[in-house]
Structure 1
C-alpha cells in the first residue's frame, strides 16, 4: 500500500525498528479493517490525513518522549525543533519562550560564575590591604571588603546551584508544555 510505504520512508531512521514496526502494523490493520468495511483507499487517506503529516506528528511525539526519558540539552533541543515543524503557530508559542528561557538561564549562570570568581579575588585583595601590602582597593574599608567578598562568593555559588535546579524544573515544565502544544495542534490527546 502506498500510504504505508510513504509513512515508512518518512519514519525510517527516526524511530527504533520495533516501534516503527508497531506503528506500521497499526496503520496496516486500520487499512485492512477499513477495506473490510467497504471503505476506499481515498476515504481512508482522508480520515487519517496525509502520511507526511502523520509521520511528522509521530516523529515529534517520539522526540518529546525521548527528551522526557533521557534528559539532555540535545534531546530537548531536538524536541523543540521538531515541534516547530507542526506549524507556523509554534514559531511564536514554542521557539520564542524556549529562546527566552535559555537566555535567562544562561544570564543567571554567567552572573553566578562572575560573582563566584570575583568574590575570592576581592577577598584576597582585602586581606592584602589589611596586611599592609599594596593591593587594588576595591572597597574603602578592607574589613567591609572581606564580608562583601564572602557574600559575593556565596551568592555566586547559590546562583549557579539555583540555576541548575531552575533548569531542571523548566525542563520538566517544558516537556509538559510541548505535550500540551502537540495535543493542541494535532487535536489528539498526547499519549504519555
Structure 2
C-alpha cells in the first residue's frame, strides 16, 4: 500500500470525526510519510509500519471521542466513546463491558432507591390519605425522614456520578493506549 492509498483509506475510516480534527490527523500521517521517505524508506514499508488504516482509525476515533466526552459532560458521548473503545477488539470488549455495565447498573439502582425514598411521602398520602391517628402520624414522619435520606442520597449520587464519569474516561483512555501498546504516559 502506498501513501495515497493509505491516506485515502484512513480518511474514509475517519468518518464521524470533526472535519478540522480529521484534516489535522491526515496532515500528521502525511508528515510521517514525508519524514520516512526523506530518510530513504519506501512508502509501502511506512504504511506497513503504521498499521491497518481501519484499526488505526478506530483507535483515533476512540481517543477523539474520549477527549470530547472529557471536554463536555454528556452521558451520550460517554456511551459513544465506550462502544468505540470496545470495538477495538474482543479482548477489549471483555475488559470494558463487565466493569462498565456493573457500574452503570449499580448507579441506576442507587438512583432508583433515591427516587423511591424521595417519593415516599407521596406514596404514603396515596395509600393512606392525610394522617389522622398516632400511628399514621408516625408513619408519615418516617416517610418524611426517608424522603430526606433520598434527597441526600440523590445529591451524593450526583457527585459520585461526576467522579465516576471522569474515572471511566480515564479508564477508557488507558485501555485505548493499552491496545495501541503505549502505556508509558499517564491516561
Q: TM-score range by the shorter chain?
A: 0.7 to 0.9
Q: Which moved more, 1:90-99 or 1:65-74?
A: 90-99
Equivalent of 1:185 in 170, 179, 184: 179
Equivalent of 2:132 in 107, 122, 129: 129
- The structural deviation recorded for 1:98 is 1.3
Secondary structure, aligned partner of 2:40: coil
- The structural deviation recorded for 1:187 is 1.2
Contact 1:64 1:79 in 2 (8 A): yes
Name structure 1 gaps, 5 residues minimum.
132-140
Residue number in structure 2 paired with 1:145: 139
1:55 counterpart = 2:57: yes
- The structural deviation recorded for 1:47 is 1.4
Equivalent of 2:110 in 97, 108, 111: 108
- The structural deviation recorded for 1:120 is 4.0
Equivalent of 1:158 in 152, 174, 178: 152
Residue number in structure 1 paired with 2:40: 38
| 1:59-70 correspondence to structure 2 within 5 Å | 59-70=61-72
Name structure 2 gaps, 5 residues minimum.
none
- The structural deviation recorded for 1:142 is 3.1
Secondary structure, aligned partner of 2:132: helix
Distance (whole Å) between structure 2 residues aligned to residue 157 and residue 127 of structure 1: 22
RMSD of aligned Cα (Å): 2.1
The count of aligned residue pairs is 182
Residue number in structure 2 paired with 1:9: 12
Moved over 3 A (4+): 123-127, 189-192
Distance (whole Å) between structure 2 residues aligned to residue 23 and residue 128 of structure 1: 67
Distance (whole Å) between structure 1 residues aligned to residue 14 and residue 152 of structure 2: 44
Q: Which moved more, 1:143-152 or 1:168-177?
A: 143-152
Q: Which moved more, 1:71-80 or 1:148-157?
A: 148-157
